[in-house]
Amino acid sequence: MKLVTGPIALLAVAAFCVVLISLVMGAQQANDLALGRQRATIEHALEQHGRSLSRELRVQTVWSEAFDRTLAHNTVWMRAFFGLYLRELFGYDRVYVLSGNDKFVYGYAGNRDSRARQFAEIEPSVRDLIAAVRSPGDAGEDYNIVSKAIAISDDQTVVHSSVADVRNIAGTPSMVVVSTIVPDRPRALAGEEPYLLIAIEDLDTQFIRNLSAVFEFADLHWLKGPAPVNYWTDEIKSVNGAKVGKLAWRSQAPGWEFVRRVGLGLGVALVLLAVLTVLLMRWGRSQAEHILESEAEARSAARTDALTSLPNRLGIGEALPAMVAKAKSEQSTLAVLLIDIDQFKEINDDFGHAFGDAVLVEIANRLKRVLKPDAMLGRAGGDDFMILAPGLDATAASGLAARIVAALVDPVALPSGVRVYAGASVGYAISPRDGEESDDLARRVELALAKAKELGGRTAVAFAPEMDLELSHRRVLESALRSALSNDAIEVLYQPVVDPKAQRVLAVEALMRWTDPLLGPVSPEQFIPIAEETGLIQKLGEHVLRRAVVDGLAWPDVNIAVNVSAVQIHHGDMVSVVRDVLGSSRFPPERLEIEITESVLVADERRADEQIKGLQGLGVRVALDDFGSGYSSLLYLRKFGFDKLKIDRSFIEEIGKSADSMVILDSIIKLGLELNMTVTAEGVERVEQQRWLSTSGCHQLQGFLLSRPLTFEQVTAFIESHDSAALAGRA
């Protein structure tokens, strides 16, 4: 028995060693495969980031104004639209402009202009990229040249080229983008090489953090010394073979994890090797299948919306590039539609989130019934849905968008018996007409949706090229407005408000004016909506208020009127702002008038009532501005207790023209008098208007007939002249 047991034991040990060695080798191979995949993922992510930056710079480099300004070496323009714009809105750390013969023209780095010698220090690191973009045909595929022919007229075409690559710039891993600057409108072009824009983005901690979060790398960071224990590394090199830096992250070692799980079974194999080998094989197979199934379920769950069971934003984001590529290979089209549910926030606020979820499920079901089987429907987030419909041209896409709007017009009836009206706004774009890249399509369909919502909702809008220009212009305006606020460049003018006979100045209305050094005069109708959307209106409104009350101290018998928007009322605390301003300036509160429009009341009556009563509690007068231009609800006059009523200029224009309008105007004035309100007429521009209003009982007049907006010095002189005239009249 012992003779037999010995060989069996040796055989068992030998078999165990073979199994153990096989497991170790398999585990090591699994680790090597995992490391290879993760390194490929990092390098692919860097390459795609560079291509995305190359496409992103087209807005600034395919632009006739940029072409002309750089050719003229206009450094003021280049600082605003290349230096400040690309740093503040896109996060670039360095920007340089080179001439057609690669000479330094302009540089911006570290929040200030850069000199030629600073560019000379990094020029060797980017010299091959400059050469590649100059000769894209010779560079081949190694440099990932992105070239695009652009028709700037019927008989004139220019080629825009750009290249991106990782480089070590002054000891920092960076993404460098080199792009030609070409016009997008007809130009007389010389034969010389185009100017170049070089934009450099540091691949800093934030970029690495985002990369780590998206691809689930544990503790991903740039390595400055030896790699810690149990960390994997990847040497990042540029396309020319130069070393950029080394990335390190905590190794996952899936092979060793598997060995750890089966260790107990291997111990038992010493006793029952034959039987246990079969059991271990079955168990290992079962474990592997379970892991694969779990991973598949996790991948599916990560790409599926739990509420509607539709693909979520991640699922749509993965499907869109594939469907764009398929349409391109088949020389077909792909329609992308983005749907936003109108008034969904109000539904949630009024009925609760559970009710809102039920509405979303019903809307998803309606959208499914509208679509063909080959279309993909997904929930892009919140109350947004996205549709990818292959094979649709402009006419078919317009028809589908119209059917979607119609399908969501009918009220949503839920089992509880409640019926709500939602409606939808739709924006859509078509590939390849509106873009051959998924990123471009996604951005442009969002622009189309924004235009649909701007038109009031319950409508569908197709993307148009001018929307890109509008967005770029709005970004330039926003950047310039932020700079103007920081530099105290917003001017305050004042329009006098006089008595009916124009003998005394009773008040002045503060008005914002802005003239940008590059853009010139910018209308309040342009910059105030941008200020409201970006949250700058709070700072802008407080600036005007403080300036107005300080100036108003010079006019002791004149009230100061300041306009306040709905955003300031509903997303700020005007009572606190006014209290602080009055306290610091010692301006008499009874001489301050805060003017609001009916839109403030419609948005949120409760919040408006709280703010109005709070302002009146400080002793400030509150005026209802532009009465008659909105809802003209008499309930507002009774409920909110305004101190002053300003009649909209549209009624004043009809004096002497429309008998019906004059009857209404007379009724408004009498109503204001009965409610003990000060009645002011805006937009007085003709003498007959002044005469009629002076006999109607109207207390105050305002308009170009009496005075245009004036500076502080002009208002002071205007008030003094009227005071002198009034004294002379009484004498």
> Could you tell me which residue, 593 or 572, shows the higher pLDDT?
593
Region 330-358: what's the mean pLDDT? 85
88-92 own/partner pairs: CB under 8 Å, 24+ apart: 88/479, 88/482, 89/475, 89/479, 90/56, 91/201, 92/199, 92/200, 92/201
Q: What is the pLDDT of residues 444-469, one digit of tens each?
A: 888 888 888 888 788 988 888 777 66
Q: Is the peptide bond before 465 cis (omega within 30 degrees of 0)?
A: no
Look up residue 659 and give its DSSP letter: H
pLDDT at 293: 59
Region 558-581: what's the mean pLDDT? 90
pLDDT at 559: 95
Single-letter code of the amino acid located at 676: N
- Rounded to the nearest 5 percent, the helix, strand and coil shares of the chain are 50, 20, 25
- Whether residue 663 is predicted with pLDDT greater than 90 in this model: the reply is no
> Could you tell me which residue, 650 or 592, shows the higher pLDDT?
592
pLDDT at 616: 92
With tokens 């050094």, the residue in question is 517
All residues at 6 or more sequence positions from 558 whose CB lies less than 8 Å from its CB, including other chains: 505, 506, 507, 508, 552, 591, 719
Per-position DSSP letters for 240-279, written without gaps between them: TS-EEEEEEEE---HHHHHHHHTHHHHHHHTTSHHHHHHH
Spatial separation of the C-alpha atoms in residues 494 and 509, rounded to whole Å? 5
pLDDT at 1: 46
- Whether residue 442 is predicted with pLDDT greater than 50 in this model: the reply is yes
Spatial separation of the C-alpha atoms in residues 179 and 130, rounded to whole Å? 9
Q: Model confidence at 679, in pLDDT bands (50, 70, 90)?
A: very high
Strand (E) or helix (H) holding 288? helix 273-302
Three-state DSSP class for residue 186:
coil
| CA atoms lying within 13 Å on the CB side of residue 429 | 29
The CA-atom distances, in angstroms, between 393 and each of 330, 386, 400 are 14, 17, 11
Spatial CA neighbour of 510 closest among 523, 492, 491, 527: 492
Highest average pLDDT, of 102-106, 229-233, 376-380, comes from 102-106
pLDDT at 163: 92
Q: Model confidence at 630, in pLDDT bands (50, 70, 90)?
A: low
Highest average pLDDT, of 121-125, 248-252, 408-412, 627-631, comes from 121-125
Asked if 247 contacts 45 with a C-beta cutoff of 8 angstroms, the reply is no
Taken in order of first residue, the domains within the chain and their CATH numbers are 2-27+265-301 (no CATH), 36-261 (3.30.450.20), 313-463 (3.30.70.270), 474-730 (3.20.20.450)
Give the number of other CB atoms < 10 A from CB of residue 535: 12
Q: What is the pLDDT of residues 595-622, one digit of tens each?
A: 988 777 766 778 888 899 999 999 999 9
Residue 69, judged by CB atoms within 10 A of its CB (0-12, 13-18, 19+), counts as buried
Least confident segment among 181-190, 292-301, 370-379, 627-636: 292-301
What the block records as the tokens of 256 is 């060793």
Q: Model confidence at 4, in pLDDT bands (50, 70, 90)?
A: very low
Give the number of other CB atoms < 10 A from CB of residue 560: 23
Single-letter code of the amino acid located at 671: L
Q: What is the pLDDT of residues 285-314, one digit of tens each?
A: 666 566 655 565 556 567 888 888 899 988
Give me the percent of the chain exceeding a pLDDT of 70: 85
All residues at 6 or more sequence positions from 73 whose CB lies less than 8 Å from its CB, including other chains: 105, 106
Q: What is the pLDDT of residues 492-519, one digit of tens each?
A: 999 999 999 888 999 999 999 998 888 8
Asked if 78 contacts 69 with a C-beta cutoff of 8 angstroms, the reply is yes
Give the number of other CB atoms < 10 A from CB of residue 179: 26
Asked if 709 contacts 491 with a C-beta cutoff of 8 angstroms, the reply is no
What is the overall mean pLDDT for the chain? 84
| Strand duo 559-563 + 592-596: pairing | parallel
With tokens 């700037």, the residue in question is 152
| Strand duo 460-462 + 424-431: pairing | parallel
What the block records as the tokens of 198 is 């070089």
Region 320-327: what's the mean pLDDT? 90
pLDDT at 288: 58
Give the number of other CB atoms < 10 A from CB of residue 729: 10
Helices 205-215 and 2-56, packing angle to 10 deg: 130
| Strand duo 412-413 + 419-420: pairing | antiparallel
What the block records as the tokens of 606 is 């409760």
Region 476-505: what's the mean pLDDT? 89
| Strand duo 243-250 + 221-223: pairing | antiparallel
Spatial CA neighbour of 239 closest among 175, 159, 161: 175
With tokens 């305004």, the residue in question is 642
All residues at 6 or more sequence positions from 264 whose CB lies less than 8 Å from its CB, including other chains: none
What the block records as the tokens of 276 is 């246990």
Spatial separation of the C-alpha atoms in residues 636 and 633, rounded to whole Å? 6
Q: Model confidence at 36, in pLDDT bands (50, 70, 90)?
A: confident
Region 538-561: what's the mean pLDDT? 93
pLDDT at 139: 62
Region 707-725: what's the mean pLDDT? 89
Where residue 230 falls (left for φ over 0; alpha for ψ -120 to 50; beta otherwise) is left
Highest average pLDDT, of 144-153, 185-194, 437-446, comes from 437-446
Spatial CA neighbour of 70 closest among 193, 177, 200, 202: 193
Q: Any idea what the Cα angle at residue 591 is, between residues 585 and 592, rounded to 5°? A: 70
- Whether residue 729 is predicted with pLDDT greater than 50 in this model: the reply is yes
Asked if 198 contacts 176 with a C-beta cutoff of 8 angstroms, the reply is yes
Q: Model confidence at 70, in pLDDT bands (50, 70, 90)?
A: very high
pLDDT at 21: 73
Q: Model confidence at 5, in pLDDT bands (50, 70, 90)?
A: very low
Residue 684 phi, psi dihedral angles, 5° rounding: -75, 115
Q: Model confidence at 692, in pLDDT bands (50, 70, 90)?
A: very high
Least confident segment among 258-267, 649-658, 692-701: 258-267
Q: Is the dihedral of CA 404, 406, 409, 413 positive or negative?
A: negative
pLDDT at 276: 62
Q: What is the pLDDT of residues 194-250, one digit of tens each?
A: 999 999 999 887 788 888 877 778 888 888 888 888 888 889 999 888 898 888 888
- Whether residue 405 is predicted with pLDDT greater than 50 in this model: the reply is yes
All residues at 6 or more sequence positions from 98 whose CB lies less than 8 Å from its CB, including other chains: 104, 105, 130, 195, 196, 198
Highest average pLDDT, of 67-71, 485-489, 516-520, 522-526, comes from 67-71
Asked if 26 contacts 255 with a C-beta cutoff of 8 angstroms, the reply is yes
With tokens 């130069």, the residue in question is 242
pLDDT at 179: 94
